C-alpha cells in the first residue's frame, strides 16, 4: 500500500482504512449468521423435518425468540462494559407474575400483562443499575447478589405452587403457537423489539453514548457524558426485556415453576459474546446478540438430529464463546495496529 | 496490607452484626414462615409414642404428585398425633437431598420418609441418620435395601411396567415406533420400570420398536423440549410413554398444540387433575397411576409403627394403617400398596388429585 | 479553584501513627467479618434448637469444605484483579473423570490423581488464554465455565456413577478421631497455611498485591506479571480438581451437574471476607471467616426450618451490603480527605 502524501490523499486513505475496519466489524454479524445458516442447512439435509415440517419450522423460530430478548438486553449492558447476571431470575419472577395476574385478576387484558412484565422487570433492573452506577460497585458482584436475591424471593413467593397451563386463558396461551403469515406471533414481537433496540443504539445520542461509556468510562466521564444515567438505562432495558421474555415464557411453556429461567443468564451472555458483543465493552450490535441466541438454541435442536447426544450442546457453546473471545481479541489487536499505522503515516 | 480502613470498621461491625442478629432472631422465632408445614422442632433423641416427628422428603418440591403424597402423609400424622414436616430440594438431584437428610438427623426427628433420586448416592447420609436413631422409610422410589428400614411400594414394578406397555400397544394398534420420556436418569423407580417395559416389549410385542429413552429430569420445561426433540428426530414415532407425572403432562401439552395431536399417542403415569384437559380433548386416551395420597398415608403409618417398635421391618411383620386397614411387610422390607389403576374418559371425572 | 501560593517547606510534619495494634488488627474489614461470625454463632447457639450439637460442626465443615478449599486460590486471583468463574465446572470435570475411570475399572488411587491432574490441565488452559493470548479473565472463565461444564455433562450424559470404594467414601465422611471435626479439614489447614505463608510472607505474595494495585508499575518493578497469573490459574484449577475428588467421595456420586453454582458461593464468600474486587487488598483470615459466616448462617437457618430460598436471599443481601458498604466507606474516606485538604489549603 503506497503512502499518500497529500492531505486529501491521507483523508481518503483514512476513510478507506476505517471503512475496511468497519466492514470487518459488520462481517462479524454476517459470520455468525452464515454459521447459523450452515447449521440449519446441514441438519435439514440429515432430516428434512427440521425445517420442513410445520412444527419444526415453528419451533425453530419460536424458542430462540424468547432467549433473543434476554440476549438483546444483555447486549445493552455488556456494551457499557458491565454484565447482568440476574436476568434469569428476572425471567422467573415475571413468568410467575404473569400466571398470578391471570389467576388473581380474571379478565385482565393480555396487553396489560405484557406491560406489567416489562415494568416489573424494569424495576428490578433499576435496582441493579442504581447500585452499579451510584455505589460504583462492579456489575459482576451486584448482579451476582441480585441473582441470589431475586431467585430466592421468587422461590419464596412461589413456594411449592406452580402455574399450570390450565390457569392461563386460551387466547394468551395460543400466542405461544399462533402464527401470522406463518411466522409465530412471539417471534414477530421479539423482532419488533429487536429493531427498536437496534435503532436506539445506532441512531440516538443515548444509544451511541453506551458505546462511548463502554470503550472508555473515564474518558466518557471527563467528556461530560451522563454516565450514571446511561448505565441505569442499560440495566433498566435489560430488566424490562427480561421481564417481557418472562411473559413470553409463560405463553410458550404454559407451566411455570419456581425454577423458570434458571441458567438463562449464561445463555444470554454466551449469545451476546458469540454475536460479537465484546465483554470489554464498546463493541457489538444487538443484531449480533440476536443471531447468537438463534445459533445457540438451533445447535441445541440440531445436535440430536445429527446424532450427537444433545448434552454436548453446552460444550459446543463454551467452545464457541472462547472462540468468539479469541476472535474479538485478534480483531481488536489488528484494529489497534491499523489505527496506529494510520496515525503514524499521517504524522509523517 | 491488613486494610486501611480505620474507625469506620467498628461502625460497620456494629451495624452489620445488629442486622445479622436481628435477622436470625426473627427467623428463629418465625420458624418456618414460607412454604410447607413446619412443625416446632421436635424433642431430640428416641421418639416417645406421644409425639411422632416425621419428615417427608420427596424427590423435589413443586411436583403435584408429591404434593398429594405429602398431603396424605400429613393426614395420617394428624390422625395419630404427630408433627409433620415437609422439606425437599427444588430440583430432583441426589446431591441436594443429602443436606435435608443431614438437617433431619440434626433435628433428631423420629422418622424420615424419602423418595430417592438415586439408589446409592444418599445411602451414606441415610446411614448416618439411622445411627442417631432416625427411622428411614423410603416410598415411591427406593434406595439400596441396606440403608433403609422399610420401602413402601406403590405397586409391583412388573404390574406398573405391564400396564403402561399394554396401554401404548392398544393405542398404537400393536405396531410401530415408540419412545420413553422418563424423569431423572438415575431415578430408581423409573429405571426399574423401564427395564421391565423393555423385557415386556421384547417378549410380547415384536412389532413395536422402542427407539429412544430420553430424560426430562422431572422438570416441566426440559420434558417439554425433549418431547419436541423426539418428534423431530423420529418422524415415524407413533407413541410416547412417560412413567412420570411431570413428563406425561409436558408431553401431552406439547402434542396438544402440535401437528401430531391425535396421531402420536401419549400415555404413562399421570395425575387425573393434570391430565383431565388432555383426556377431554382426545390428546390422551388412557393413563395409569395409583393414589399418591394413599401412598403417603401408608408410609406415615409405617413410620409410626417403626418408631413405636411395633415392627422392625422384617418379613411378616404386620401393622395397622388407619383407614387403609392392616398391612404386612413382604420380602426385602417392602410393603405393597396395591395395583395400578387405569384412568380414561369414562372415569376421570370421579377423581380429584 | 484555589489561588496558587508559594509554599516554603512542608506544611506539616508526618504525625506518627497513633493507632494501637489492637485497633489496627480488629477494626478492619477482616475484623468485621470475624466479629459478625462470632455474633452469628452466639445468636444461633441461643435461639436455634439443636444447633449446639457436635453434628452441627461436622455437617457444616464437611459441606463447606470444597468452598473453603477453592476460596484459597480464588483469593489470590481476585487480589491480582482477575477472576476465575470456571472453578465449579472444574470440580464437575474432575468429579466426572474420577467417576468414569472408576466405572471403567481403574484403581481408585489412579482415578483420584487423574481428577486432580484434570483440574491442573483446566487451570493451565485458563492461564494460557489469560496470560499468553491476553484475554480478559472474566470473558475467558465465562467461556471455560460453559465449556468444562459442557464436557462434564457430555462425557457422562445424564448418568451418574455412584459406586465408589467404601474405604475412600467413609474416609471422606470421617472425622478426626475423638472430635467432631471432619478429616478433610486437615487437608484444608495444610493448604491454608501454605497459601497464607505464600500470600503474606513471601515476595511472590507481595507481588500479587502489587499487580492488583497497579499492573504496569508492578511490571516495571520487575514482576513477571504473566507468569505470576499463570501460576495462580493453574493453582486454582488444581485445588478445584482436588475439591472435585473430595466432593465425589462425600456425596458418593459423580455427575456432570455436580457443584452447579459453587463459583458464586466461593466469590460471594471471598468478597464478603474483605477482598476487594478491584484487586490489591484482602487477607486469608477474612476469607475463611467469610466462608464460615455464610455456612453458619445457612446451617442455622436450615435447622430453624427456614427454607433454602430465604437462605439464598440472605446470602445475596449480605454480599450486596458488604460490597456496597465497602464502596460507601471508600467514598466517605475520600470525601473526608478531600474536605480536609480543601479546608487546609484555604485555612
Per the domain annotation, does A146 fall within a domain?
Answer: yes
- Interchain pair C55, B5: CB under 8 A: no
pLDDT band at residue B43 under the 50/70/90 scheme: very low
Please tell me the total count of domains within chain B: 2
Query: Percent of chain B scored above 70 by pLDDT?
Result: 86
Surface of C (118-137) touching A: CB under 8 A: 129, 133-136
Tell me the shortest Cα–Cα distance from C150 to chain A, in angstroms. Answer: 4
One domain, residues B264 and B178: yes
Calpha distance C152→A45 (Å, rounded) = 30
Tell me the shortest Cα–Cα distance from B185 to chain C, in angstroms. Answer: 6
- Interchain pair B67, A160: CB under 8 A: yes
C158 in contact with A at a CB cutoff of 8 Å? yes
DSSP B269: B
Question: What is the reported pLDDT for A22?
Answer: 62
SS3 content of chain A, % helix, strand, coil (to 5): 80, 0, 20
Question: What is the reported pLDDT for A321?
Answer: 86
Cα C233 to Cα A207, A316, C73, distances in angstroms: 37, 23, 8
Q: What is the CATH number of the domain that holds A316?
A: 1.10.3470
Beta-carbon contacts of C99 under 8 Å, excluding residues fewer than 6 positions away, are: C156, C160, C161, C248, C253, C254, C255
- Interchain pair C47, B106: CB under 8 A: no
Tell me the shortest Cα–Cα distance from A313 to chain C, in angstroms. Answer: 7
Which chain B positions have a beta carbon within 8 Å of C169's beta carbon?
A: 124
B132 in contact with C at a CB cutoff of 8 Å? yes
Touching subunits of B (3+ CB pairs, under 8 Å) are A, C
Per the domain annotation, does B347 fall within a domain?
Answer: no
A56 in contact with B at a CB cutoff of 8 Å? yes
One domain, residues B73 and B167: no
Cell of B288: 395409569
Per the domain annotation, does A324 fall within a domain?
Answer: yes
Backbone phi, then psi, for B40, in 5-degree steps? -65, 150
Residues A18-47: pLDDT tens digits? 666 666 556 778 888 888 888 888 888 887
Per the domain annotation, does B25 fall within a domain?
Answer: no
B11 in contact with C at a CB cutoff of 8 Å? no
Tell me the shortest Cα–Cα distance from C220 to chain B, in angstroms. Answer: 21
Which chain A positions have a beta carbon within 8 Å of B260's beta carbon?
A: 55
pLDDT at A60 over 60: yes
Surface of C (266-285) touching A: CB under 8 A: 267-268, 271, 277-278
Question: What is the reported pLDDT for A106?
Answer: 86
- Interchain pair B34, A260: CB under 8 A: no
Cell of C344: 487546609
Closest CA to A92 of A121, A114, A115: A121
- Interchain pair A326, C267: CB under 8 A: no
One domain, residues B326 and B263: no
This complex has an ipTM of 0.81
pLDDT at B54 over 90: yes
- Interchain pair A279, C83: CB under 8 A: no
- Interchain pair C309, A273: CB under 8 A: no
Question: What is the reported pLDDT for B260?
Answer: 84
C63 in contact with B at a CB cutoff of 8 Å? yes
Question: What is the reported pLDDT for B36?
Answer: 33
- Interchain pair B186, C159: CB under 8 A: yes
Q: Phi-psi bin for A162: left (phi > 0), alpha (psi -120 to 50), beta?
A: beta
Closest CA to A216 of A283, A132, A140: A283
C77 in contact with A at a CB cutoff of 8 Å? no
Sign of CA dihedral C300, C304, C305, C307: negative
Question: What is the reported pLDDT for B6?
Answer: 36
Cell of B33: 414462615
Q: Is the Cβ–Cβ distance between C135 and C144 less than 8 Å?
A: no
Tell me the shortest Cα–Cα distance from C345 to chain B, in angstroms. Answer: 24
Mean pLDDT computed over B16-28: 45
Per the domain annotation, does B47 fall within a domain?
Answer: no
A74 in contact with C at a CB cutoff of 8 Å? no
Of the partner residues C23, C318, C325, the one whose CB lies closest to the CB of residue B12 = C325
Q: What is the CATH number of the domain that holds B150?
A: 3.40.50.2300
Closest CA to C282 of C336, C233, C323: C323
Per the domain annotation, does A12 fall within a domain?
Answer: no
C310 in contact with B at a CB cutoff of 8 Å? yes
Q: What is the DSSP string of A67-103?
A: HHHHHHHHHHHHHTT---TTHHHHHHHHHHHHHHHHH
Which chain C positions have a beta carbon within 8 Å of A147's beta carbon?
A: 264, 316
Q: What is the DSSP string of C76-132?
A: HHHHTT---TTHHHHHHHHHHHHHHHHHTT--HHHHHHHHHHHHHHHHHHHHIIIII
C148 in contact with A at a CB cutoff of 8 Å? yes
In the block, residue with C-alpha cell 449446639: C52
Angle, helices C308-346/A139-158, rounded to nearest 10 degrees: 150
Calpha distance A118→C57 (Å, rounded) = 45
- Interchain pair C153, A314: CB under 8 A: yes
One domain, residues B191 and B217: yes
Per the domain annotation, does A294 fall within a domain?
Answer: yes
Closest CA to B136 of B152, B159, B156, B117: B152
Which residue numbers in chain C have pLDDT < 50? 347
Per the domain annotation, does B13 fall within a domain?
Answer: no
Q: Which residues of B touch A (CB under 8 A)?
A: 34-36, 61-62, 64, 67, 90-91, 219-221, 224-225, 228-229, 231-233, 235, 249-250, 253, 257-260, 274, 277
A329 in contact with C at a CB cutoff of 8 Å? yes
pLDDT at A231 over 90: yes
Per the domain annotation, does A268 fall within a domain?
Answer: yes
Cβ neighbourhood burial of C201 (10 Å; 0-12, 13-18, 19+): exposed
SS3 B210: strand
Which chain B positions have a beta carbon within 8 Å of C48's beta carbon?
A: 24, 28
One domain, residues B187 and B267: yes
The kind and range of the H/E element at C196 are helix C184-201
Q: Is the Cβ–Cβ distance between C162 and C258 less than 8 Å?
A: no
Which chain A positions have a beta carbon within 8 Å of C278's beta carbon?
A: 138
Calpha distance A327→C96 (Å, rounded) = 30
One domain, residues B163 and B283: yes
CA angle B102, B104, B105 (to 5 degrees): 65
Among A136-140, A189-193, B161-165, which is the least confidently predicted range? A136-140
Cα C165 to Cα B227, C172, C298, distances in angstroms: 38, 11, 31
The kind and range of the H/E element at C160 are strand C160-161
The separation between CA B269 and the C-alpha centre of its own chain, rounded to angstroms, equals 12
Provide the strand spans (E) within A232-346: none
Please tell me the total count of domains within chain A: 1
Question: What is the reported pLDDT for B47?
Answer: 40
Which chain C positions have a beta carbon within 8 Å of B89's beta carbon?
A: 308
Q: What is the mean pLDDT of chain A?
A: 86
Q: Is the Cβ–Cβ distance between A282 and A211 less than 8 Å?
A: yes
Calpha distance A174→A8 (Å, rounded) = 61
Tell me the shortest Cα–Cα distance from A59 to chain B, in angstroms. Answer: 8
- Interchain pair B219, A258: CB under 8 A: no
pLDDT at B23 over 60: no
Beta-carbon contacts of C235 under 8 Å, excluding residues fewer than 6 positions away, are: C73, C76, C123
What range does the domain containing A258 cover?
56-329
What range does the domain containing B240 cover?
157-289
One domain, residues B58 and B139: yes
Cell of B320: 395397622
Which chain B positions have a beta carbon within 8 Å of A171's beta carbon?
A: none
One domain, residues B149 and B182: no
One domain, residues B166 and B146: no
Which chain A positions have a beta carbon within 8 Å of B249's beta carbon?
A: 255
Closest CA to C114 of C97, C131, C129: C97
Question: What is the reported pLDDT for C180?
Answer: 87
Cα A147 to Cα A93, A136, A153, B17, B119, distances in angstroms: 11, 18, 10, 24, 33
One domain, residues B189 and B285: yes
Q: Which residue of A has its CA nearest to B257?
A: A177
Question: What is the reported pLDDT for A16?
Answer: 66
Among B44-48, B124-128, C100-104, which is the least confidently predicted range? B44-48
Tell me the shortest Cα–Cα distance from A342 to chain B, in angstroms. Answer: 45
- Interchain pair C264, A147: CB under 8 A: yes
The kind and range of the H/E element at B240 are strand B237-242
pLDDT band at residue B16 under the 50/70/90 scheme: very low
Question: What is the reported pLDDT for C10?
Answer: 59
Which chain B positions have a beta carbon within 8 Å of C50's beta carbon?
A: 41, 44, 106-108
Tell me the shortest Cα–Cα distance from B129 to chain C, in angstroms. Answer: 11
Amino acid at each position: 500500500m503506497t503512502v499518500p502524501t497529500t492531505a486529501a490523499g491521507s483523508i481518503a486513505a483514512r476513510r478507506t482504512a476505517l471503512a475496511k475496519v468497519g466492514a470487518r466489524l459488520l462481517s462479524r454479524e454476517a459470520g455468525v449468521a452464515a454459521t447459523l445458516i450452515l447449521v440449519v442447512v446441514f441438519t435439514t439435509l440429515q432430516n428434512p423435518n427440521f425445517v420442513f415440517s410445520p412444527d419444526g419450522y415453528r419451533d425453530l423460530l419460536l424458542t430462540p425468540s424468547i432467549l433473543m430478548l434476554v440476549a438483546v438486553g444483555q447486549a445493552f449492558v455488556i456494551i457499557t462494559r458491565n454484565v447482568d447476571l440476574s436476568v434469569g431470575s428476572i425471567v422467573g419472577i415475571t413468568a410467575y407474575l404473569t400466571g398470578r395476574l391471570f389467576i388473581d385478576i380474571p379478565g385482565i387484558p393480555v396487553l396489560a400483562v405484557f406491560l406489567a412484565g416489562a415494568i416489573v422487570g424494569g424495576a428490578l433492573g433499576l435496582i441493579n443499575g442504581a447500585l452499579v452506577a451510584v455505589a460504583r460497585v462492579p456489575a459482576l458482584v451486584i448482579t451476582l447478589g441480585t441473582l441470589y436475591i431475586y431467585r430466592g424471593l421468587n422461590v419464596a413467593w412461589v413456594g411449592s405452587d406452580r402455574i399450570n397451563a390450565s390457569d392461563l386463558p386460551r387466547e394468551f396461551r395460543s400466542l405461544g403457537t399462533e402464527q401470522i403469515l406463518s411466522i409465530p406471533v412471539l417471534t414477530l414481537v421479539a423482532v419488533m423489539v429487536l429493531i427498536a433496540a437496534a435503532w436506539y443504539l445506532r441512531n440516538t445520542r443515548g444509544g451511541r453514548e453506551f458505546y462511548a461509556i463502554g470503550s472508555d468510562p473515564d474518558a466518557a466521564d471527563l467528556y461530560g457524558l451522563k454516565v450514571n444515567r446511561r448505565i441505569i438505562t442499560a440495566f433498566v432495558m435489560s430488566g424490562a426485556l427480561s421481564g417481557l421474555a418472562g411473559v413470553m415464557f409463560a405463553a410458550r411453556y404454559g407451566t411455570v415453576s419456581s425454577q423458570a429461567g434458571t441458567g438463562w443468564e449464561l445463555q444470554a451472555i454466551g449469545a451476546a459474546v458469540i454475536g460479537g458483543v465484546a465483554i470489554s465493552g464498546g463493541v457489538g450490535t444487538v443484531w449480533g446478540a440476536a443471531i447468537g441466541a438463534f445459533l445457540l438454541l438451533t445447535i441445541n435442536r440440531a445436535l440430536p438430529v445429527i446424532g450427537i447426544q444433545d448434552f454436548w450442546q453446552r460444550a459446543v457453546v463454551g467452545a464457541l464463546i472462547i472462540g468468539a473471545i479469541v476472535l474479538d481479541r485478534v480483531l481488536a489487536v489488528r484494529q489497534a495496529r491499523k489505527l496506529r499505522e494510520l496515525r503514524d503515516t499521517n504524522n509523517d | 496490607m491488613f486494610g486501611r480502613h480505620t474507625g469506620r470498621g467498628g461502625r460497620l461491625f456494629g451495624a452489620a452484626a445488629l442486622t445479622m442478629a436481628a435477622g436470625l432472631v426473627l427467623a428463629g422465632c418465625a420458624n418456618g414462615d414460607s412454604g410447607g408445614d413446619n412443625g416446632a422442632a421436635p424433642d431430640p433423641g428416641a421418639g416417645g409414642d406421644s409425639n411422632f416427628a416425621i419428615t417427608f422428603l420427596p424427590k423435589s418440591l413443586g411436583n403435584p404428585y408429591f404434593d398429594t403424597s405429602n398431603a396424605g402423609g400429613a393426614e395420617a400424622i394428624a390422625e395419630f398425633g404427630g408433627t409433620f414436616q415437609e422439606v425437599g430440594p427444588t430440583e430432583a438431584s441426589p446431591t441436594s437431598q443429602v443436606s435435608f437428610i443431614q438437617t433431619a438427623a440434626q433435628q433428631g426427628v423420629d422418622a424420615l420418609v424419602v423418595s430417592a433420586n438415586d439408589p446409592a448416592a444418599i445411602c451414606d447420609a441415610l446411614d448416618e441418620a439411622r445411627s442417631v436413631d432416625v427411622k428411614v422409610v423410603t416410598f415411591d422410589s427406593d434406595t439400596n435395601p441396606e440403608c433403609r428400614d422399610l420401602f413402601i411400594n406403590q405397586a409391583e414394578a412388573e404390574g406398573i411396567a405391564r400396564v403402561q406397555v399394554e396401554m401404548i400397544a392398544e393405542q398404537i394398534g400393536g405396531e410401530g415406533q415408540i419412545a420413553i420420556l422418563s424423569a431423572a436418569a438415575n431415578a430408581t423407580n423409573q429405571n426399574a420400570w423401564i427395564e421391565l417395559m423393555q423385557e415386556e416389549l421384547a417378549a410380547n410385542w415384536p412389532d413395536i420398536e422402542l427407539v429412544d429413552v430420553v430424560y426430562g429430569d422431572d422438570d416441566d420445561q426440559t420434558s417439554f423440549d425433549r418431547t419436541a426433540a423426539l418428534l423431530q428426530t423420529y418422524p415415524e414415532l407413533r407413541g410416547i410413554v412417560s412413567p412420570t407425572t411431570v413428563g406425561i403432562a409436558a408431553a401431552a401439552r406439547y402434542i396438544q398444540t402440535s401437528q401430531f395431536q391425535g396421531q402420536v399417542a401419549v400415555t404413562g403415569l399421570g395425575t387425573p387433575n393434570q391430565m383431565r384437559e388432555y383426556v377431554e380433548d382426545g390428546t390422551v386416551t388412557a393413563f395409569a397411576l395409583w393414589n399418591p395420597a394413599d401412598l403417603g398415608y401408608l408410609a406415615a403409618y409405617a413410620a409410626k409403627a417403626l418408631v413405636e417398635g411395633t415392627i422392625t421391618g422384617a418379613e411378616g411383620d404386620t401393622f395397622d394403617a388407619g383407614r387403609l386397614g392392616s398391612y404386612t411387610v413382604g420380602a426385602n422390607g417392602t410393603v405393597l400398596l396395591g395395583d395400578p389403576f387405569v384412568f380414561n374418559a369414562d372415569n376421570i371425572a370421579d377423581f380429584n388429585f | 479553584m484555589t489561588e496558587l501560593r508559594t509554599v516554603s517547606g512542608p506544611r506539616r510534619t508526618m504525625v506518627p501513627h497513633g493507632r494501637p495494634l489492637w485497633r489496627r488488627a480488629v477494626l478492619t474489614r477482616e475484623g468485621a467479618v470475624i466479629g459478625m461470625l462470632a455474633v452469628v454463632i452466639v445468636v444461633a447457639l441461643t435461639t436455634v434448637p439443636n444447633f449446639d450439637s457436635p453434628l452441627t460442626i461436622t455437617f457444616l465443615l464437611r459441606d463447606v469444605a470444597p468452598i473453603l478449599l477453592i476460596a484459597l486460590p480464588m483469593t489470590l486471583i481476585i487480589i491480582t484483579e482477575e477472576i476465575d468463574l470456571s472453578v465449579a465446572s472444574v470440580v464437575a470435570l474432575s468429579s466426572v473423570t474420577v467417576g468414569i475411570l472408576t466405572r471403567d475399572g481403574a484403581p481408585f488411587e489412579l482415578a483420584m490423581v487423574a481428577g486432580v491432574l484434570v483440574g491442573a490441565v483446566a487451570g493451565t488452559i485458563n492461564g494460557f488464554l489469560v496470560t499468553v493470548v491476553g484475554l480478559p479473565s472474566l470473558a475467558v472463565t465465562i467461556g471455560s465455565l460453559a465449556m468444562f461444564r459442557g464436557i462434564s455433562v457430555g462425557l457422562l450424559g445424564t448418568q451418574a456413577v455412584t459406586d465408589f470404594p467404601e474405604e475412600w467414601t467413609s474416609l471422606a465422611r470421617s472425622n478426626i478421631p475423638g472430635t467432631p471435626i471432619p478429616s478433610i479439614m486437615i487437608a484444608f489447614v495444610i493448604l491454608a497455611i501454605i497459601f497464607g505463608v505464600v500470600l503474606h510472607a513471601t515476595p511472590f505474595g507481595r507481588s500479587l498485591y502489587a499487580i492488583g494495585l497497579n499492573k504496569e508499575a508492578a511490571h516495571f518493578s520487575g514482576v513477571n506479571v504473566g507468569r505470576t497469573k499463570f501460576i495462580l490459574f493453574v493453582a486454582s484449577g488444581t485445588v478445584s480438581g482436588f475439591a472435585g475428588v473430595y466432593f465425589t467421595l462425600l456425596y458418593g456420586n459423580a455427575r456432570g451437574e455436580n457443584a452447579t453454582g459453587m463459583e458464586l458461593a466461593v466469590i460471594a464468600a471471598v468478597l464478603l471476607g474483605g477482598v476487594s474486587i478491584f484487586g490489591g487488598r484482602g487477607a486469608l483470615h477474612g476469607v475463611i471467616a467469610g466462608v464460615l459466616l455464610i455456612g453458619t448462617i445457612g446451617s442455622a437457618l436450615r435447622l430453624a426450618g427456614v427454607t433454602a430460598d430465604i437462605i439464598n436471599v440472605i446470602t445475596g443481601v449480605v454480599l450486596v451490603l458488604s460490597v456496597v458498604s465497602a464502596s460507601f466507606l471508600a467514598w466517605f474516606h475520600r470525601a473526608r480527605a478531600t474536605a480536609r485538604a480543601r479546608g487546609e489549603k484555604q485555612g
